[in-house]
Amino acid sequence: MCLTPDIGFPGTVCTPNITQDKETGIGDWTDDEILRAFREGISRDGRALFPMMPYEVFKEMADEDAYSIVAYLRTVEPVRRPEPHATKIDFPVSFFIEFEPQPVEAPVVAPDRSDQVAWGGYMATIAGCRFCHLEGKGGEEFETLAGVVRSSNITTAETGVLPPTAEGFVRMFQSYQNGALAEGHPDEDYTVMGWRDYANMTEEDLRAIHAWFKQVEPVENQVQTYSASAE
């Protein structure tokens, strides 16, 4: 899949084949090359990856979890799929992204699961919650074919939308299990929130994320989720 300037990208960004195919995928990559790509933002050929790949988030991933991802990717059946287009970023963005990758300079250890808030903060980080929701206050803009979509304010402020209870938070996510849509959400709902992916997180992890956001300082920030063109 390629994302192009007509939806706001500074050039053409194509998602690569990450199956074990040796010619068109990552079957020939070493474990260290895979780790460097998704944690540090450097491809096998030495180029900086477009930061839509959230390596600044995955840099915070514990070593054990990162190794587990590599182990999983090794189990993915090879699929030969030559990419008809190549990623090509326009200047000056092509220049600036060269400064985005940063090395992982020390071992990264996950917090103790028994500390619910610390674990929730870790999960909220590597799952991208903190990144997309700007530490909870929301308002991050995403260009879509239907218009601009903004992340919600999920602090406990009056203008926030964080469910008051962990049960409500978990239920909201789990309602999307098995590809379902939560009650009240139409089929054409084009939110960029990955509900169906996060619906399969464990209840323990979802409760921990809720506990972390509950202790984030409330920020009054009224967010209009959809732009006028996207409503």
> Tens digit of pLDDT for each residue in 140-171?
998 777 778 899 999 999 999 999 999 999 99
Instruction: Please say if the pLDDT value at position 136 is more than 60.
Output: yes
Q: Are residues 120 and 224 in the same domain?
A: yes
Q: Are residues 49 and 129 in the same domain?
A: no
Q: Which residue has the higher pLDDT, 195 or 40?
A: 40
Split into its structural domains, the chain has a count of 2
Structure tokens, 35 = 């780790």
Structure tokens, 75 = 């189990």
Q: Are residues 93 and 143 in the same domain?
A: no
Instruction: Please tell me the distance from the alpha carbon of residue 177 to that of residue 187, in angstroms, as a whole number.
Output: 15
Q: Are residues 145 and 87 in the same domain?
A: no
Q: What is the pTM of this model?
A: 0.86
* Among 99, 129, 163, residue at a domain's last position: 99
Share of the chain above pLDDT 90, in %: 71
Q: Are residues 143 and 95 in the same domain?
A: no
Establish if 108 belongs to a structural domain: no
Establish if 218 belongs to a structural domain: yes
Q: Are residues 95 and 133 in the same domain?
A: no
Q: Are residues 185 and 85 in the same domain?
A: no
Establish if 60 belongs to a structural domain: yes
pLDDT confidence bin for 101, thresholds 50/70/90? very high
> How much is the pLDDT for 193?
86
Structural domain for 46, as ranges? 2-99
Share of the chain above pLDDT 70, in %: 92
* Among 38, 66, 99, residue at a domain's last position: 99
The count of other CB atoms within 10 Å of the CB of residue 213 is 24
Query: 88 by DSSP, 3-state: which?
Result: strand
Instruction: Please tell me the distance from the alpha carbon of residue 26 to that of residue 37, in angstroms, as a whole number.
Output: 11
> What are the two backbone dihedrals, phi and then psi, of residue 136, each rounded to the nearest 5 degrees?
115, -30
> How much is the pLDDT for 118?
98
> How much is the pLDDT for 189?
55
Q: Are residues 50 and 22 in the same domain?
A: yes
Average pLDDT, the chain: 90
Contacts of 184 (CB under 8 A, 6+ apart): none
Where is average pLDDT lowest: 107-121, 122-136, 139-153, 171-185?
Answer: 171-185
Q: Are residues 93 and 182 in the same domain?
A: no
Q: Are residues 47 and 124 in the same domain?
A: no
Establish if 110 belongs to a structural domain: no
Establish if 109 belongs to a structural domain: no
> How much is the pLDDT for 5?
85
Q: Are residues 150 and 83 in the same domain?
A: no
Contacts of 43 (CB under 8 A, 6+ apart): 37, 49
The count of other CB atoms within 10 Å of the CB of residue 167 is 12
Establish if 192 belongs to a structural domain: yes
In 3D space, the residue among 117, 113, 130, 115 whose CA is nearest the CA of residue 60 turns out to be: 130
CATH number, domain containing residue 137 = 1.10.760
